[in-house]
Chain A
Amino acid sequence: MSTFLLPTYSLWTRDLKHFVRQRSRVIGAVGQPFVIWIFLAAGFRNSVSVDGMEYGAWLFPGVILLIALFAAIFSTISIIDDRTTGFLQGVLTSPASRTSILWSKMLAGTTIAVVQALLFMVLLPFSGITPTVAGFLLSLLFLTGIGMLFTMLGFVLAWRMSSTQGFHAVMTLLLIPLWMLSGAFFPVDGAADWMQLVVRLNPLYYVTALFQQLFFMGSSMAPVDVPAPWISLLVSGGLFLLFYLYSLRSLKA
Chain B
Amino acid sequence: MLSIHDIAHVYTGDSGTLTTALRGVSFSAASGQVTALVGPNGSGKTTLFRLINGLLPLQQGRIELHHGPVRNARIGVVFQSPSLDPYLTVFENIRHHVLLYGRTVRRPQLPVRLLNMLDLSDKLDTRTRELSGGFQRRVELAKVLLTEPDLLILDEPFSGLDLTAREAFFSLLREVTIERELTTLLITHVLSIATLCDRVVLLENGNCIADDFPEHLLEDFGRTVVEIVSADAARLFDRLRRHFGGDVLRLREDTVLLKNVGLGDVISLVDVNDASIKDMQARRPGLEDFFVLRTGQYVEEREEDLLAA
Contact = CB atoms under 8 A, between A and B. Distances in A.
B34 interface: no
The range of chain A's interface size is 20 to 34
A92 interface: yes
B201 to A, nearest CB: 21
A195 B96 CA distance: 48
B148 to A, nearest CB: 12
A13 B95 CA distance: 11
Contacts of B100: 6-7, 10-11, 90-91, 94-96
A3 B87 contact: no
A231 B99 CA distance: 41
Contacts of B147: 94
B259 interface: no
Contacts of A88: 83
A93 interface: yes
B46 to A, nearest CB: 12
B82 A14 contact: no
B249 interface: no
* Chain A interface SS verdict (over half): helix
B55 to A, nearest CB: 6
Interface residues of B, number: 27
A14 B93 CA distance: 9
Interface in B73-109: 74-75, 77, 79-88, 92, 95-97, 99-104
Contacts of A93: 53-55, 75, 77
Contact of A87 (B55, B75, B84): B84
Interface stretch (A16-24, A52-60, A65-73, A161-169): A16-24
Contacts of B55: 89, 92-93
* Chain B interface SS verdict (over half): loop
Contact of A94 (B86, B92, B95, B101): B101
A11 B81 CA distance: 20
A226 B54 CA distance: 50
Contacts of A13: 96
Interface centre among A3, A6, A88, A93 (most CB of B within 10 A): A93
Contact of B92 (A6, A17, A22, A91): A17
Interface centre among A3, A7, A95, A96 (most CB of B within 10 A): A95
Given A14-B96, A95-B74, A86 B101 contact: no
A2 B97 CA distance: 13
Contacts of B88: 14, 17-18
Given A10-B96, A90-B97, A95 B102 contact: yes
A85 interface: yes
B81 A85 contact: yes
Contact of B103 (A6, A17, A22, A87): A6
Interface in A61-119: 85-96
B96 A18 contact: no
A189 to B, nearest CB: 47
A21 B127 CA distance: 11
A9 interface: yes
Nearest to B89: A17
Contact of B102 (A6, A87, A90): A6
Given A22-B87, A92-B55, A93-B53, A86 B102 contact: no
Interface in B41-66: 53-55
Contacts of A18: 85, 87-88
Contacts of B96: 10-11, 13-14
A134 B45 CA distance: 61
Interface string A1-45: 011001101110110011001100000000000000000000000
A10 B54 contact: no
Contacts of A14: 85, 88, 92, 96
Contacts of B74: 95
Contacts of B75: 93
Interface centre among A85, A88, A89, A90 (most CB of B within 10 A): A90
Nearest to A4: B102
A90 B83 CA distance: 6
A6 B147 CA distance: 13
A219 to B, nearest CB: 42
Given A17-B87, A87-B84, 17 more contacts: A7-B99, A10-B95, A11-B96, A13-B96, A14-B85, A14-B92, A85-B83, A86-B80, A86-B81, A90-B100, A91-B83, A91-B100, A93-B55, A94-B100, A95-B100, A95-B101, A95-B102
Interface of A: 2-3, 6-7, 9-11, 13-14, 17-18, 21-22, 85-96
18 contacts: A2-B103, A10-B97, A11-B96, A14-B85, A14-B92, A14-B96, A17-B88, A18-B87, A18-B88, A22-B87, A85-B86, A87-B84, A88-B83, A90-B100, A93-B75, A94-B97, A95-B100, A95-B102
Q: Across chains A and B, which 10 residue pairs bring their CB atoms closest together, nearest first?
A: A2-B102, A90-B83, A10-B99, A94-B100, A86-B83, A21-B87, A86-B81, A93-B53, A93-B77, A96-B100
